[in-house]
Amino acid sequence: MPKIEVNEEVFYTLADPEGKGRRWESREAFEEALTCAKAELDEDSDKGLPEAGRTLKIELNDTNRPDLWGTAGCARQLRIYDGGRRPEYAFFSAPGRLKEARYRVRVEESVKGVRPYLAGFVASGRAITDPMLRDMIQTQEKLAWNFGRKRRTVSMGLYRISIIKWPIIYKGVDPDSVSFVPLQWETPLTLREILRQHPKGKEYAFIQEHEKLHPLLTDVEGAVLSYPPIINSADLGAVQVGDDNLFVELTGTDQAAVTLAASIVACDLADNGFTIESVAIDYEYDTPFGRQCVTPYYFQTPVFCSLARVEKILGEKLSAGECLAALARMGVRAEEASGVEDGAVSGGDNAASGGDSAASGRDNAASGAVPGIRAYPPEYRNDFLHAADVVEDVMIGRGLSSFKSERPRAFTVGRLTPVTFFSRTVKEILVGLGYQEMIYNYLGSRRDLVEKMRGSGAKIIQIANPMTENYEYVRDSVLASLMASESVSGHSVYPHCIFELGKVAFRDDAENYGTSTRQYAGFLHADRDANFNTVSAQLQTLFYYLSRDYAVREADDARFIPGRAASIIYKEKVIGVFGEIHPEVLENWGITVPCTACEFDVEALL
C-alpha cells in the first residue's frame, strides 16, 4: 500500500477547516480521524526536530484513491470530513464547456503510436517552499510509480515557465537524432545514450528501448523540456525552491488516467494557494476526449444509487437526506433522484451538461424508476464505478461507529468433511508403517511436473498469468513432489520413507469447468533393496487397515519400469498406480538409489 511522508506543520494547517493548524488531542484521536481516508499513522513524528521540520508517515489502505497520496489530498479529505467546505475548482473544463487558454501544446501525429496522451496546466502566484517542493516530488513519484504502473501509463514533469517559448511541441523522434543535457548530468546525451548511461534512463529503459520513435517535449524554438517518461532537461526542467510560475505536464498511454492525475495535482496546488491556468492540448489525431482537450478537464460520469441498495448493503434504512449529508462529508456532490440502477448514468445527464434532474426524475418515475441519489465524483476522483461505490462513501461519511451492532441471523455449525476424516485415517496408518508426512506446494514448473517425470503433460493445467515459471502449473500427481524431496536427501541415512496427502488437479472433459480437483495420497520408499514386492506389501497393509478390497493389473506408466508397475483397481475403476520408479526419472532428479512409489485417489475409496 502507498505510504506518504507529510510535513507536520503544513498537513495540520491544510487539514484544519479554519486553517489554523489545529492538532488532535491524542494519537488515538488522529488515527480515528484518518479512517475517513482509509489511512493510518505509520510512525510518530520526529519530536527531536523543530516543529517546522517534523514529518508524519501515513499509510494509505486504498489504491483506488490516488488523490490521497499527497499532503494536500489527504488533508483535504480530513478537512471536509470535519466540517470544512468542499472546495470549488473553477479552472476545470468539461465536455461542451472548454475554457479559453493562452497556453497551448501541439501533439503531433508521430507520437500517436508511442505515448499518445498529454495533459497539463500552469500554476502561479506563490513561491515554492522546500516542504512544498518535496511534497510535489513525492506526489509525482507516487502517482507515476503506483497509479501510473512504474511510469508506463502515467508520468509527470515540472518546468519553469520563464524560459519556455510557447507553444510546446510533443512529438516522436529518432532516439539517435536528438541530444540534450538531462537532469543531474553535465554533458549532452542522445535519447538512446540516456537509456544506457543515465541512472534514470537505466531504471526506466524498459518502457521505451524497443520503440523506433521516442517521445520528446520541446518548446517552439526546439529547446528540450523532457524525454517522457524518463528524465527532464537540466535547464527548463530543473524546478527549484523559490520558483513561482510552473508548467505541469503529464503524459501516458491512458487518456483518462493521465487526465485524472493532472486534475489531482492541480487541485492539490490550488489548495496550497496557487492560481491554476488551463492549457489547451491540440491533437493531430482523434482521441477519446476529442482533437482538442483543455486541461484540467472534468470527464467523470455521475452514478445513480437506489436507497434500497443502500439499505441492503448497510443493513439500515437511510433517507435520501442522510445519504446526501454523508456524501457531503466525503466531498461528494449529490442530489436526490429517481432512476434505474444500471451503474453509471451517461449522455447529457452528467456534471458537465447540468441537465434538469427533476425532469429526469419524473421521466424515470414514469418508466418504473426507483428513489435514490445521484452522486457526482469530485474533480480529483474517478473511483465511482458502480452504485456499491456510492454506498461505501455513504458508510464512511456517516461513520462506522454510527451503525448499531447486530448479532448474525444465520447460525451454522462447522464440521470436518468425510474426506478429511478418511484422510486422517490414511495418515495414521502410513505413520504406523514408518512413513514421514510431507507438505508441498500445489504449483510447480513444467520441468519438475512433466519433463523430469517423463510425462506428456496432456492433462496438466497451466496458469494463465504466473508470477514465475517455478509456479506455472498445477500439479496433477503427488509423485513429483515426493521425488523432489528425495533428490535433496541423499546425505540422510537410508531407508527413506515419506508420504503426502494433498490436492491434485487435472483436465477432465466430464466436469462442467473442464477440470477436476481430487484428494490424493502418495508414498515413496528409497533404499538399495527397494523393489516391487516392497511397495506391494505396503499397499496391501494400508488397504487391509482401511477395510478396502482392491485388484491389480499391469500398468503402462512412463514413470515406472515396464513390467514392474501395476494399476490399483477399486470397484472396477483405476484409482491409482504403484511400482518401481524408472531409472531415467531417478537420473532426472539426481537420485542414486532405487525408489518405489504409489499414489491413489483417496476420494474414490469413500
**543-584: pLDDT as tens digits:** 999 999 999 999 999 999 999 999 999 999 999 999 999 999
Nearest partner of 79 among 10, 133, 4, 5, judged by Cα = 10
Q: Which three cell numbers stand for residue 40?
A: 493510518
Output the pLDDT for position 352: 39
Which pLDDT does position 242 carry in this prediction?
86
**Type of residue numbered 524:** L
Nearest to 88 by CA among 271, 223, 315: 271
- Phi and psi torsions of 330, nearest 5°: -95, 5
Domain ranges for the chain? 3-81, 103-295, 303-401, 418-605
Q: Cα separation of 21 and 79, whole Å? A: 11
Domain topology for 3-81 = Phenylalanyl-tRNA Synthetase; Chain B, domain 1 (3.30.56)
Lowest mean pLDDT among 127-141, 202-216, 219-233, 358-372: 358-372
Domain topology for 303-401:
Phenylalanyl-tRNA Synthetase; Chain B, domain 1 (3.30.56)
pLDDT tens digits for range 181-236? 999 899 999 999 999 999 999 999 999 999 999 999 999 999 999 999 999 999 88
**Region 440-468 average pLDDT:** 92
Strands 275-283 and 117-124: antiparallel
Q: Which three cell numbers stand for residue 164?
A: 519556455
Q: Is the pLDDT score of 3 beyond 50?
A: yes
105 pLDDT above the threshold of 70: yes
Measured CA angle at 369 (ends 368, 372), to 5 deg: 155
Which helix (H) or strand (E) covers residue 115, if one does?
none
Supply the pLDDT for residue 433: 96
In the predicted structure, residue 412 carries a pLDDT above the cut 90: no
pLDDT classification of 354: cutoffs 50, 70, 90? very low
Query: Is CATH 3.40.50.2000 what the domain over 103-295 is classified as, yes or no?
Result: no
Residue 355's pLDDT is 40
- Identify the H or E element spanning 169: strand 168-173
Please tell me the class of the 418-605 domain.
Answer: alpha beta
Q: How far apart are CA 58 and CA 69, in angstroms?
A: 9
Question: What rounded mean pLDDT belongs to the chain?
Answer: 90
Q: What is the pLDDT of residue 320?
A: 95
pLDDT for residue 346:
37
Please, which pLDDT band fits residue 364 given cuts at 50, 70 and 90? very low
Q: Region 472-486: what's the mean pLDDT?
A: 96
Convert the pLDDT of each residue in 261-279 to its tens digit: 999 999 999 999 999 999 9
pLDDT value for 367: 53
SS3 label, residue 229: coil
| Dihedral sign of CA atoms 305, 307, 308, 311 in order | positive
Domain 3-81 and domain 303-401, same fold? Reply is yes
* 164: confidence class by pLDDT, cuts 50, 70, 90: very high
pLDDT in tens, 276-322: 999 999 999 999 999 999 999 999 999 999 999 999 999 899 999 99
Confidence band (pLDDT; 50, 70, 90) for 44?
Answer: low
Judged by phi (left if over 0) then psi (alpha if -120 to 50, else beta), residue 230 lies in alpha
Half-sphere exposure of 527 (CA within 13 A, CB side): 14
Query: Regarding predicted confidence, which is higher, 45 or 116?
Result: 116
Q: Kindly report which listed range (19-23, 281-285, 528-532) carries the lowest average pLDDT score.
A: 19-23
Q: Name the DSSP class of 35.
A: G
Average pLDDT of the segment spanning 413-419? 90
Q: How far is CA 243 from CA 237, 428, 530, in A?
A: 12, 76, 81
Integer Cα distance of 28 and 24 in angstroms? 9
Confidence bin at 361 (pLDDT 50/70/90):
very low
CA dist., res. 55 & res. 136, Å (int)? 15
What is the β-pairing status of strands 103-107 and 275-283?
Answer: parallel
